Structure 1
Amino acid sequence: MSWKTETVPGTDGLVCSIDRLASEAGTAVLRAGGNAVDAAIATSAALAVTAPHMCGLGGDLFALVGGPGTGSAEPLVLNSSGRAGSGADPDRMRAEGHRTMPLVADVRSAPVPGCVDGWVTLHGRLGRLPLADVLAPAVELAEAGFPTSPLLAAALPRLAGVTGCDELVRSGVAEGDLLLRPGPARMLRAVAAEGRDGFYGGEFGERLLEVGAGEYLPEDLARSQAEWVDGLALDVWGHRVWTVPPNSQGYLGLAGAGIAERLGLPADPDDGAWAHATVEAARLAGFDRPQRLFDGADGAALIAAGRLDERAAMFDPERPARLGDRYRAGGTIYLCATDADGMGVSLIQSNAKGFGCHVAVPGTGVLLHNRGLGFSLEDGHPAEYRPGRRPPHTLAPALVTRPDGSLRAVLGTMGGDSQTQVLLQMLARLLVAGQDPGTLLSAPRWVLAVDEGTGFNVWERPDTHRVRIEEHAPASWRAGLEQRGHEVETAGRDLVGFGHAHLIELPLDGPARGAADPRALVGACSAG
């Protein structure tokens, strides 16, 4: 099957997300006088209600904000990913026989959630409307109910046996059924009334300490997880592309684009050589990620010109690069929003894998993420699971500016390790092929895969990659890749494996234009 989405113009602002109801929540806030930040928070909060299989108040958040109204010549970058609690003990994990962090059923894979701190911090610096007004659409969805989306209905059976999820796992929830979320509604009202203290210092915080059983201490919750950081940027294809620095893996998207620029991409993305070059650019950028990405890693060094030159020199136009001797052995939503003044927000919010670690905070309706799966249990590893550390993160939102500093686009995707691979393809289609948002997001994609993949272990064995391509990819992709020695798999109907990406572009000669990913089925780009 092929995907098709239309480019939507929007003079008074646009909001793109995986859920029409959430996009409409954002545009309602725009029409009420809010700015792009207000709209992004409103959309994010609505998704925490309608898409608990992908994000929620128990997850993390990153954001970039650019354009007029920021008070800054450069984009503002917020890292609101949570830190491991004071009880984090890697020796105990190893003594229990763990070699990697547990994926589910273990609260130790849940750092302190950063999502709510992200909302409050973004709003406190850049919001225009009262926070209660911004969160009101999400509260209404939670209290009045909303029709269960196809992807949520398909995912809900995975919560069978998980305690504390009664509002989600009542029998007979099917696509289109009305679903109410009283727990998140109560949590959102507490945030609206008291800010972060209403959440981390209120019912949620009290119950989190209980379910953590020593993993967290009150001082862990008293410390904000949100932090303004310097953006990481690379000049590529006549523009500057921005992302969040480590602990985000965003540097891989920049490095992949820098390598691809050095290789020289064919003008036509349907060319098999284009597929080979972009696949190899991603592989050459990311093969040593397990050793290089950790909280505090030097992002600028990871995208330095000399390093990218060396990676590009490893490219072979006729076969995949051999990487084995060069290294040692989702549930996420992306959204973007703009307003009539030209401010743009690129925001990503995540549980990590599906419903997170399958641990609910009792009585709140909030499931905890499992972003701690990014930690290492190798003794002495720079990303070792330790108190106060942030885990390596797959979340990688992006923002593009022109040479004069004006905002060109906000873009990103969900997709675990594949996020930066999809981002590379989006950047190449936007900045090299000149495609409009609808064409770009309807186009076929490739992602790297490994056997027994979790979506978060692609870089553990970089010489065993398969290239998965969507079934509507041109025949030249498969032929060109196989001729060059890649193992290629044509995927069937896959609603999540190739990302849910969105993009809003701000042309110099016309209104903003955007599109939402059709793979989300109920996604929408909504005009303010």
Structure 2
Amino acid sequence: MHNTRYAPSGMVCSVDHLASAAGLAMLERGGSAADAAIAANAVLAVVAPHMCGLGGDLFALVHDGATVTALNASGRAGSGADPARLRAEGHTRMPHLHDIRSVTVPGCVDGWASLHGRHGRLPMAELLAPAIRLASAGFPASPLMVAGAANAARRPGGGDFASVRAAGDRVTRPGVARALQALAGHGRNGFYLGEFGQGLVEAGAGEYVEADLAAPGADWVEPLRTRAHGHDVWSMPPNSQGYLLLMSLAIAEGLDLPASPSHPVWAHLLAESARIAGHDRLDVLHEDTKDLLDPAEITRRRSRIDSRSRLRLGGPGQDGDTTYLCVIDGDGMGVSLIQSNASGFGSMVFEPRTGINLHNRGIGFSLKPGHPAEYGPGRRPPHTLTPALITRPDGSLRSVVGTMGGDAQPQVLLQVITRLLRHGEEPGRAIAAPRWRLGTGGTGFDTWDAPDDAVLDLEEGGGWSDGLAALGHRVAALPYGSSFGHAHLIDVRPDGMLAGAADPRSLVGAAIGR
């Protein structure tokens, strides 16, 4: 199944048809791509709490018709963040679940406010209205929500999910509706200093103070880019791992890739590009990292790859859920937006007043004393979130693309973008094609703990298994499905027609246009 949708003057692509419809409604009312992205993300914050939400973080790339800008709305640790206390309790890494210390101040709402302030046309209240209606009146549980709803319902504050038994069951989220109404009526302070913020401070028991929430937490930053396949590919700078996508693309472009993606050597060379790019990520990625795309270093890493065998990296270097959406409007503005809880419902800690589930992005911090990414007050953790945007040599917008998938996000995008740009595949085929990923069988955020031990997980239908095993890879066959990400893509054809695809792995995703 590889359906590409076409539209002449605007398109929204997301993991849920309700969100895509809300975004399209804003385009039809004269809203910008930024307006549509906010409306779609707000609906996802209601209907897809197993992937994203008001308690999560956000990154976005925007092409305004002339330039590319990047928005970092990832939260910072609270003033009470104390790595010595965690170490004294016996922790060697940040707690993965059930611990509010892995919850940085959620950046999602500050991201919406900044995106709207620079690029919005419609009132924020209008953008949030579809999400408020769904949270108040109810929405159908998606098939992917059902799997985690029972565990969420057992946690304090998770009562919104107590009645979810099957896809289509009605879910209401009155606390989320109140939080959205506070944002619509009183701006970002209505959220961060209102009911949600007060509950977060109380739940943190010293982890946060009101000043942590009072300070706006989103920044416009300079995006990273690399040239690949005759285009410029853009992503986020650190603290995002976006550099891994760009480095992998730059390394792979200098290799002799087979003409067909079905050839095992195609998967081998791309996987080796991803491995050599990322094996030292835990040592080098932090919010102040610089110069990760040095051409000499890219050449050096590429020179270690052998088309005939798997590379031994030489020892260790130092299931996540997210949602990605993209929009292009009739004026040519494109938004590539990714928003996340990290692991499924996040930390499985719920803000007690509104029932908003809180992310666990703090798992990206290190607990090694003196590490540049060490957990501490006011710091941003390394992030897996990797939105992408592609421009033509003349600077015009070619594509907006991204995926969920924890550590595997750059690996999935490496495959999708290579299929699109090098092999000329239509978006639907590039998105639906079987994928590989570097797997550990762990959390989805531990790929680089021991990169030489990573198994190459292969999605059924790829046909690479025997060839990759002969090249020295340990391979594991897995079913086609959401564990390989939900990628979405909108491509601008040379005649201006939009061609888009939502990932069929999401089951209820939609690319819709006007």
Shift in Å, 1:265: 1.6
Query: Normalised by the size of structure 1, how large is the TM-score?
Result: 0.96
For the pair 1:403 / 2:390, whether they are aligned, the reply is: no
Match of 1:199 in 2: 191
Shift in Å, 1:249: 0.2
How far apart in 2 are the matches of 1:368 and 1:517?
26
For the pair 1:106 / 2:103, whether they are aligned, the reply is: no
Match of 1:290 in 2: 282
How far apart in 2 are the matches of 1:353 and 1:39?
26
Shift in Å, 1:160: 4.2
Q: Kindly report which structure 2 residues correspond to 1:43-192, keeping only aligned pairs within 5 A, or say none.
A: 43-68=40-65, 73-170=66-163, 172-192=164-184
| Paired amino acid for 1:358 | M
How far apart in 2 are the matches of 1:175 and 1:444?
26
Checking the alignment, whether the CA contact within 8 Å between 1:63 and 1:345 is kept in structure 2 is yes
For the pair 1:479 / 2:466, whether they are aligned, the reply is: yes
User: In structure 2, the residue corresponding to 1:337 is in which secondary structure?
Assistant: strand
Checking the alignment, whether the CA contact within 8 Å between 1:267 and 1:432 is kept in structure 2 is no
Checking the alignment, whether the CA contact within 8 Å between 1:346 and 1:412 is kept in structure 2 is yes
User: In structure 1, the residue corresponding to 2:254 is in which secondary structure?
Assistant: helix
Match of 2:493 in 1: 507
Aligned residues: 513
Equivalent of residue 310 in structure 1, options 300, 308, 312? 300
Equivalent of residue 25 in structure 1, options 12, 22, 34? 22
For the pair 1:489 / 2:476, whether they are aligned, the reply is: yes
Checking the alignment, whether the CA contact within 8 Å between 2:317 and 2:451 is kept in structure 1 is no
Match of 1:261 in 2: 253
User: In structure 2, the residue corresponding to 1:196 is in which secondary structure?
Assistant: helix
How far apart in 2 are the matches of 1:496 and 1:367?
21
Checking the alignment, whether the CA contact within 8 Å between 1:67 and 1:406 is kept in structure 2 is no
Shift in Å, 1:104: 0.8
Shift in Å, 1:141: 1.1
How far apart in 2 are the matches of 1:105 and 1:168?
17
Match of 1:466 in 2: 455
| Paired amino acid for 1:460 | D
CA RMSD of aligned residues (A): 1.0
| Paired amino acid for 1:324 | G
Match of 1:518 in 2: 504
Equivalent of residue 41 in structure 1, options 38, 41, 57? 38
1:204-261: CA deviations, max 9, x gaps? 1111110011100111101111000001111111111101100000000000000000
Checking the alignment, whether the CA contact within 8 Å between 2:98 and 2:348 is kept in structure 1 is yes
Q: Kindly report which structure 2 residues correspond to 1:392-471, keeping only aligned pairs within 5 A, or say none.
A: 392-451=382-441, 453-471=442-460
User: In structure 2, the residue corresponding to 1:302 is in which secondary structure?
Assistant: coil
How far apart in 2 are the matches of 1:169 and 1:98?
32
How far apart in 1 are the matches of 2:10 and 2:162?
37
| Paired amino acid for 2:107 | G
When structure 1 is superposed on structure 2, of 134-143 and 118-127 the one drifting more is 134-143
1:149-198: CA deviations, max 9, x gaps? 1011121012143101111224x532111111111111111111111011
How far apart in 2 are the matches of 1:385 and 1:434?
43
Checking the alignment, whether the CA contact within 8 Å between 2:391 and 2:399 is kept in structure 1 is yes
Shift in Å, 1:328: 3.8
Equivalent of residue 13 in structure 1, options 10, 14, 26? 10
Checking the alignment, whether the CA contact within 8 Å between 1:342 and 1:506 is kept in structure 2 is no
Checking the alignment, whether the CA contact within 8 Å between 2:317 and 2:450 is kept in structure 1 is no
Shift in Å, 1:364: 0.5
How far apart in 2 are the matches of 1:139 and 1:269?
44
Match of 2:380 in 1: 390
How far apart in 1 are the matches of 2:32 and 2:360?
32
How far apart in 1 are the matches of 2:23 and 2:58?
17
Checking the alignment, whether the CA contact within 8 Å between 1:445 and 1:473 is kept in structure 2 is yes
Match of 2:204 in 1: 212
How far apart in 1 are the matches of 2:256 and 2:289?
29
User: In structure 2, the residue corresponding to 1:21 is in which secondary structure?
Assistant: helix
How far apart in 1 are the matches of 2:371 and 2:230?
37
Shift in Å, 1:264: 2.6
How far apart in 1 are the matches of 2:69 and 2:184?
24
Checking the alignment, whether the CA contact within 8 Å between 2:150 and 2:161 is kept in structure 1 is no
Shift in Å, 1:12: 2.2
For the pair 1:222 / 2:211, whether they are aligned, the reply is: no
Shift in Å, 1:127: 0.4
1:336-358: CA deviations, max 9, x gaps? 01111111100000000011111
Shift in Å, 1:263: 1.1
1:53-97: CA deviations, max 9, x gaps? 1101000000001042xxxx4211000000000000000000000
User: In structure 2, the residue corresponding to 1:324 is in which secondary structure?
Assistant: coil
Match of 2:342 in 1: 352
Checking the alignment, whether the CA contact within 8 Å between 1:60 and 1:113 is kept in structure 2 is yes
After the TM superposition, list the runs of 4 or more consecutive aligned residues in structure 1 that deviate by more than 6 angstroms: none
User: In structure 1, the residue corresponding to 2:482 is in which secondary structure?
Assistant: coil
Checking the alignment, whether the CA contact within 8 Å between 2:2 and 2:432 is kept in structure 1 is yes
Identity of aligned residues (%): 56
How far apart in 2 are the matches of 1:168 and 1:103?
21
Query: Normalised by the size of structure 2, how large is the TM-score?
Result: 0.98
How far apart in 1 are the matches of 2:453 and 2:23?
42
Checking the alignment, whether the CA contact within 8 Å between 2:5 and 2:499 is kept in structure 1 is yes
Shift in Å, 1:483: 1.2
Shift in Å, 1:510: 3.7
Shift of the 328–177 alpha-carbon distance from structure 1 to 2, 3 Å rule, reads closer
| Paired amino acid for 1:316 | D
How far apart in 2 are the matches of 1:126 and 1:435?
31
Shift in Å, 1:324: 2.3
How far apart in 2 are the matches of 1:187 and 1:365?
10
1:302-354: CA deviations, max 9, x gaps? 111101000000001111111124x5442200000111111110000000001
User: In structure 1, the residue corresponding to 2:182 is in which secondary structure?
Assistant: helix
How far apart in 2 are the matches of 1:471 and 1:206?
47
